Structure 1
Amino acid sequence: MMKSFSTTKHATIQMIVGLLLVLSSCYAQATQSPITFVVDDWCPYTCEPHSEKPGIAVEVINAVFGKDNVQFKSMEWRDAINAVEAGQADGLAAALTSDAPFFIFQKSAITTSTICFFVPQTLSWRYKDTTSLNDKNLITVEGFSYGEILDNYIAQTRRTNKNRIVELKDKDVAIQRFAFYQASENNVIVADNRVFNHQLQNYNQYQVPLKFHNGGCLVGEDLHIALSPKNKKRSLTLAHKFELGLQQLKSNGELAKILAKY
């Protein structure tokens, strides 16, 4: 009787150990290097990945997965979404859920993206709701999401009065934005607050300084990594690992240090 119990116990332990080894192997396969993320020029979230200040999202990704385990590909935003959707890369390094709602996201946000409206400093215009834009030309970027409310407004206005929605190409966005600023006081630039101010600071270093008035902002939206739906098992594993790592960065103060740099 004792021998039978001992044998059964030993077999159970072997089964548990075997199961753990299988799970460990599956996890390793699901997260094997390299982990590839696509970035566009959206500094300070995603800057030049190999520079001294690669961007908030890039630094967080490197801290969680390990710099040696991650590769970054640079491309324009619409191409980036298509590449990740097709499984040509693991994820977008920084995205709103409205950018690609069918992608896989981790639970917690890296930080918040706040979309604001910018007009020449000489104007007193303020954004209250979308009716504030009725006599304005809205300067947007092709393929970008600005949250549900503004996305719906843009889609509707594009159907009824498409000339009032200007969609810039993702390349050299800053130069295009500031050219429209100088073209007409009726133009309103919509952009992430951090990104716009970063672009303006860089532009003003080399050009005649421009001055803008922040006419108001939308409610901030959470910024995540967005993982490919093509390989769901791998993406879910990466999302789980990223969530755990992000929580650790928050608790030990490292995330706050990264944000403070930008």
Structure 2
Amino acid sequence: MVDIAREIFAEAGYEFDYQNFGWARSLQLAREQLIDGVVGALKGDAPDFIFPETALGEARITLYTHPQSQWVYDGIDTLQGKTLLVINGYSYSPELDRYISEYSDDPERIWILSGPAPLARALQLLDRERTDVFVEDSAVMSWFLAQNTSIAAPRNAGLAYEAPLFIAFPPENPDAAELANLLDSGLARLTASGRLAVILSAYWLSDPDL
């Protein structure tokens, strides 16, 4: 997603500077106009933000457990009796978001991580069995594990939700609509030229996967 956006914005004369912050802080920095937009947003993350028409990726929100666990996610009711580890400010699915909001003050049900590099911390907590279940996008998890081969892979306990991913811009940004339109037109151009397929091939992805 970052490489696609970098190429689109470079063609239009923009410098694309990608920085990694905690998600809740990223949204706040965008609203304060200290950054221009956020990468990898679900529409539920910030419903008032300006989104392109075309998604740049697809989220597959997945539940993970310790490798020795036999638990399987089969709807929100199956979380009863489990501690769910989540990242502060993330939107996962309408159903999971409601559950997290309802029980956010109950540490026996919900444990919220904040700050940079939360995924590494989450996997450490899961491996030490200090929490039962962690929720993350499967592509993010796969990429992270490929980059950090010394970290034990968690067990996939089931898919919770699928939804499109976007680069989104805060309504406070006066260029938000222009930047969103630029992504749409640029993505169409990359698709037509075949350049999109070349970019995606570096990540073992094809166009439908984005």
4+ residue segments displaced more than 4 Å: none
Equivalent residue for 1:63? Answer: 7
Correspondence for 1:225 among 167, 171, 176: 167
Q: CA 1:185–1:121 in 2, change beyond 3 Å: closer, same or farther?
A: farther
Matched letter for residue 118 of structure 1: Y
CA contact (8 A) 1:96 1:221 kept: yes
Superposed displacement of residue 238, structure 1: 1.6
Q: Matched residues in 2 for 1:198 and 1:230: separation?
A: 32
Q: Which runs of 5+ in 1 are unaligned?
A: 1-56
CA contact (8 A) 1:116 1:214 kept: yes
Following superposition of structure 1 onto structure 2, how do residues 94-243 of structure 1 map, counting pairs within 5 Å? 94-159=40-105, 161-184=106-129, 187-205=132-150, 210-232=152-174, 234-243=175-184
Asked if structure 2 preserves the Cα contact closer than 8 Å seen for 1:87 and 1:231, the reply is yes
CA contact under 8 A between 1:87 and 1:229: conserved in structure 2?
no
Corresponding residue for residue 253 of structure 1: 194
**Bigger proportion of residues as helix:** 1
Deviation at 1:73, TM superposition (A): 5.1
Q: How does 1:18-37 map to 2 (within 5 A)?
A: none
Offset, 1:94: 2.4
- Of structures 1 and 2, the one with the larger relative CO (CA 8 A, separation 6+) is 2
Between the two proteins, what is the percent identity of the paired residues? 26
TM-score by structure 1 length?
Answer: 0.70
Q: Report the TM-score, using the length of structure 2 for normalisation.
A: 0.86
In 2, Cα distance between the equivalents of 1:181 and 1:132?
Answer: 18
CA distance 1:216–1:256, shift in 2 (3 Å) = farther
Counterparts of 1:211 and 1:86 in 2: how far apart (Å)?
37
Asked whether the equivalents of residues 118 and 213 of structure 1 are also in contact (C-alpha less than 8 Å), the reply is yes
Q: Distance in 1 between matches of 2:5 and 2:131?
A: 40
